[in-house]
Homo-oligomer: A and B are copies of this chain.
Amino acid sequence: MYKISLGFFLFLSTAAFSQKISGFSDADAAKQIQWEKTFDSLLSTSNQDEWMKFMTSKPHHVSSPQGKANADFMASLFKQWGYDTRIDVYNVLFPTPKTRLVELLSAKPVRLKLEELALREDRTSGLRTDQLPTYNAYSADGDITAELVFVNRGIPADYEELARRGISVKGKIVIAKYGGSWRGIKPKVAAERGAIGCLIYSDPADDGYVEGDVYPKGPYRPSFSAQRGSVMDMPIAPGDPLTPFVGATENAKRLDRNEAITIMKIPVLPISYEDALPLLQSLQGPVAPAGWRGGLPITYHMGPSVEKVHMKLAFNWDIKPLYNVIATMKGTEFPDEWILRGNHHDAWVFGAADPVSGMVSEMEEARVIGEMVKQGYKLKRSLVYCAWDGEEPALLGSTEWVEDHQEELKKKAVAYVNSDGNSRGFLSGGGTHGLEPFFNEVAGEVKDPQTGVSVKQRVYARQMSQGNSAARARIAGKPYIRLSALGAGSDYSPFLQYLGISSFNIGFGGEGSGGEYHSIYDSYDNFIRFKDPGFAYGSALASTAGRMMMRLANADVIPMNFTSFYTTVNEYVTEIKAMADQMRTDAEWDQKVAKEKLYELAADPRQKVGPPMQKSEVPYFDFSKLENSLVELKKKSEEFNTLSPLAMKLSADKKKKLNEILYMAERSLVREEGLPRRKWWKHQIYAPGFYTGYGVKTIPGVRESIEERQWKEAQENINMVAESISKYTAEINKAVLILTN
């Protein structure tokens, strides 16, 4: 048992007058705060501007000359700033288009343009050399001709609507709107339903003229612009499809291309709304439901078309090198405890916002830390700055690197901080909930460039300005940024979900919206007009991530708050239970309404819309193991919280042991067998949705089993998650024992 002495409370109350940092002794906190002021004062926006100008001067996708040039450029800078720097090369399957043809075989055939125009107002848009045309990477090759069906966002629920109207996509080409799911879900679900091809277009209601003036007058997508992007089946696994689970090194054992399960089964191509217009106009059949309609000046029909569409796609299926820049600043006390930071450097074309805005911010952050180290700043733990290649096709660079270094990372990685595109606006973050209070402490220290208050206070201001009275009452006087759960939108995935390394994804945004995403118009000219003119938010990001890196590197005790993790997971479980109850009630009512023929009675006989698909009954689940594991987690995490102030007084040896427990705790949430039907994804709390893509599913094994009505699997997963949580709690208990012995 343990006691807390009165002396300890006195210590707390006197210390309250000086500024504190969780995990730091008062003395260390004072020094740290001084260094953070220095850090802020050294940040330069003109560096970011200059670097972005160079790095976006030419297309710089995986294996492009400028991509390699950028890696070399960054590596030389990192070296210059005092980092031990290397370029790690992997050889990955990266398909690029040879043939792209789509035509509507109407009386007078319409051939789609499939081209983004050069604009006088955008200087790089006319640089055609090395420009990847609009395409979806990992689409299948194909030469097909078929009728067209409109499938809205292309998620399973959309096919239920089609089925109610007797419309099948079997043997057809589908046309889907971007948005509402990750793009790779659309052809995947279409192929599962028997479609033989897929077109994905950017509707003007999503990022075109409906949202605002189009480029170059405003920032939104012009009629001829299309969104490039990967359609690899990343909810199965990201990374090189030929080398799952291992690094794609030169001599790695590779699958044959037709063994690779994450390559899309049908041809897919993204098109502009100008190109989509004649296709959508060719559709017959019922008028699309209200929620399916977009912003084009037509009546949206569901199809099929009478006229056929001809689609011919062929790709170079080459294995190409990618270049990760890895720059280490060794820690003085714990060189084998790594704080990692990453952003990708590859783009679909010029990629000023995505990803260079985040990359140059990371570089400036690294530069200033290097400068401070030269001035005498000490880092206890090692910092590892990464610039990933090949994120766009499938998190290639980060995944291969993590797979390649997995054994070392499992031991050494304390945390990973990711960023990607960045713009004016509000700080947001996703990640490991045990570090949510830590993140908030940092957000309370960083100044918002436009208002002068802290970036945390500005988020609070927005929440308070937008919410209704009930929402306002809940948060009033308590500025706090909830971390979102992480899915698979950027390079944190291999760290968090494959290895169980505590991770963050952070960035500013909300005031730089536009429609340049994955087009040639994501350019320097666009960025400095609409995204972050003057790079003030590039510096704010450096200021935020830099503090996180330095505090994690120098904390006496890793500022882990298990109660914050408990609270969040408990919310997820409550949500899932409520969802199951709701599904059960809904299924009961649906069956009752169907049995009484009320759907038929209510239907318009001239519309021929059948009743909604009948859903099976939902059993009751035994949540008790999971609930009991949460009770234990709550108890232990509160016990640890109460005791944690004692940590500062532990011997150096015990403190090191304690810290290892603290940063390794997240590993216990990883289960070697992975999630049902996708063993690469191992984290039991966070995963990208199997049918939503980027969209995260929390406690995915349980949630998705229930959503997909796999009742047996759901019960098994409830118990497995309970086990993982118990393991996690056991780690907390080890920490408690160190503190009380």
Which residues on A are within 8 Å of B, measured CB to CB? 204, 209-214, 218, 220, 287, 293, 295-299, 424-425, 450-451, 453, 457-458, 460-462, 464-466, 468-469, 472-473, 476, 511, 582, 585-586, 588-589, 592-593, 596-607, 611
Given contact pairs A598-B460, A602-B462, A210 touches B299 in the complex (Cβ within 8 A): yes
Closest chain B residue, CB of each to CB of A217: B299
Given contact pairs A204-B297, A472-B589, A589-B472, A601 touches B210 in the complex (Cβ within 8 A): no
B457 touches A601 (CB 8 A): yes
A298 touches B604 (CB 8 A): no
A602 touches B465 (CB 8 A): yes
Closest chain B residue, CB of each to CB of A210: B293
- Bound-state Cα–Cα, A235 to B283, Å: 45
17 contacts between A and B (CB under 8 A): A210-B299, A212-B299, A296-B297, A424-B604, A451-B601, A453-B601, A458-B602, A460-B598, A461-B598, A461-B599, A464-B596, A464-B598, A465-B599, A465-B602, A469-B589, A472-B589, A476-B592
- Bound-state Cα–Cα, A297 to B601, Å: 38
Among candidates B287, B450, B465, B599, residue contacting A213 with C-beta atoms closer than 8 Å: B287
- List residues of chain B with CB within 8 A of the CB of A469: 582, 585-586, 588-589
Looking at the assembled complex, report how far the CB atom of A69 sits from the nearest CB atom of chain B, in whole angstroms: 34
B598 touches A465 (CB 8 A): yes
Q: Which of A450, A598, A600 has the largest number of chain B CB atoms within 10 A?
A: A598
Q: Which 6 A-B pairs have the closest CB atoms?
A: A461-B601, A462-B602, A461-B598, A461-B602, A465-B602, A297-B297
| Copies of this chain in the oligomer | 2
B601 touches A458 (CB 8 A): yes
- List residues of chain B with CB within 8 A of the CB of A476: 589, 592
Looking at the assembled complex, report how far the CB atom of A463 sits from the nearest CB atom of chain B, in whole angstroms: 8
Closest chain B residue, CB of each to CB of A603: B465
B297 touches A464 (CB 8 A): no
- Bound-state Cα–Cα, A464 to B424, Å: 47
- List residues of chain B with CB within 8 A of the CB of A586: 468-469
- List residues of chain B with CB within 8 A of the CB of A450: 605
- List residues of chain B with CB within 8 A of the CB of A458: 601-602
Given contact pairs A297-B295, A297-B297, A472 touches B605 in the complex (Cβ within 8 A): no
- List residues of chain B with CB within 8 A of the CB of A599: 461, 465
Given contact pairs A451-B601, A465-B599, A209 touches B298 in the complex (Cβ within 8 A): yes
B297 touches A209 (CB 8 A): yes
